[in-house]
Every structure is written in C-alpha cells, then in structure tokens.
C-alpha cells in the first residue's frame, strides 16, 4: 500500500531539498517514491509555484492532472488543461476516496503560506527509521501535515519526530 504524506517546511526551498534527498535515498533502496510534487511559496507572491517530479517518474501514478486538481483546490490556482464540467466534478469527488477531504484541504491551506513550502509524496516500502535519520543528518526538518497512515503509524512517526526535536 502506498502512503501519501504532506510535509511543510519553513522556507520556500525546503520541500525541494527534501524531495532531492528522498530520491537520493531511493537510489540506496531505503524508500520507493511512487510520485511527488512540491509547492514553493515565496514571500510577497500572491500564489505558490508548483512542480511535479515527473522527470524521474516516467510512469507517475497520480500524474499531472491529479496534482493540478489538488493544488487548484487547495490554493485556488487555475487548472490549466483540466476538463471543465462533469469530468472535473467526478475527479473532485474521487479525491475523498483517497482521503483528501475538506479537513485535509483546510489543514494544508492553513499551514502552507507565503515563505514556506510543502512536499506531497506518495511512497511505499520505506525503511522509516533510516530515512528519517538520513534526512535529519542533512538538516532537513519538516512538519508532517497530513498522511493516510493508520492512527498508530502516524502516532509512531510523530513521536519519532518529536524525540529528535527535544
């Protein structure tokens, strides 16, 4: 099963650094990145910039339409190329099937603001403790905003993060 997580960083380039680090860890077979996208919001800008990591993901599971729809809903970014009408309504409705509901959207919208960035990543088969250690050693620290992990898995991940901060 793939895990969707959203991480917030306190700088506009934090998400990009984390994404690059995850792809390096993938080469070490510590994690499998199925798909990823970043949002970077410079101070003083009206809206964030988005980027899908499709250059390394030839068969991206979610694809540009999904990321475009998701970011459009969260950040009110015009959805270029998205079919308007019943098809887009069906896509919006399908977001709830994978755990993307109003609470998810509101949480991300509230936390990803000018001067920050976010990494949206779909992963599988991660060696979580090793990945976490490697990211910390590189100085990459983010806040877990959302995940589709079970409550117990999420609590364990949050505990691990809090232990490192203390």
CA distance 57 to 121: 12
The pLDDT value recorded for residue 125 is: 81
The pLDDT value recorded for residue 76 is: 67
Name the nearest CA neighbour of 148 among 121, 128, 127.
121
CA distance 16 to 12: 8
Name the nearest CA neighbour of 33 among 13, 59, 9, 15.
59
The pLDDT value recorded for residue 148 is: 72
Low-confidence ranges of the chain (pLDDT < 70): 1, 54-66, 68-69, 76-100, 149-151, 153-166
The pLDDT value recorded for residue 108 is: 87
The pLDDT value recorded for residue 164 is: 45
């Amino acid at each position: 099963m793939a895990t969707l997580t959203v991480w917030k960083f306190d700088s506009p380039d934090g998400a990009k650094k984390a994404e690059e680090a995850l792809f390096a860890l993938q080469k070490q077979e510590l994690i499998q990145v199925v798909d990823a996208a970043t949002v970077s919001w410079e101070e003083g800008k009206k809206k964030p910039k988005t980027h899908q990591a499709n250059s390394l993901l030839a068969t991206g599971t979610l694809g540009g339409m999904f990321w475009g729809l998701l970011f459009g809903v969260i950040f009110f970014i015009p959805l270029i190329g998205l079919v308007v009408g019943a098809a887009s309504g069906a896509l919006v409705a399908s977001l709830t099937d994978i755990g993307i509901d109003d609470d998810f959207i509101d949480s991300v919208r509230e936390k990803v603001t000018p001067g920050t960035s976010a990494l949206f990543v779909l992963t599988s088969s991660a060696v979580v403790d090793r990945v976490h250690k490697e990211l910390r050693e590189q100085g990459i620290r983010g806040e877990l905003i959302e995940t589709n992990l079970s409550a117990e898995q999420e609590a364990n991940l949050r505990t691990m993060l809090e232990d490192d901060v203390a």
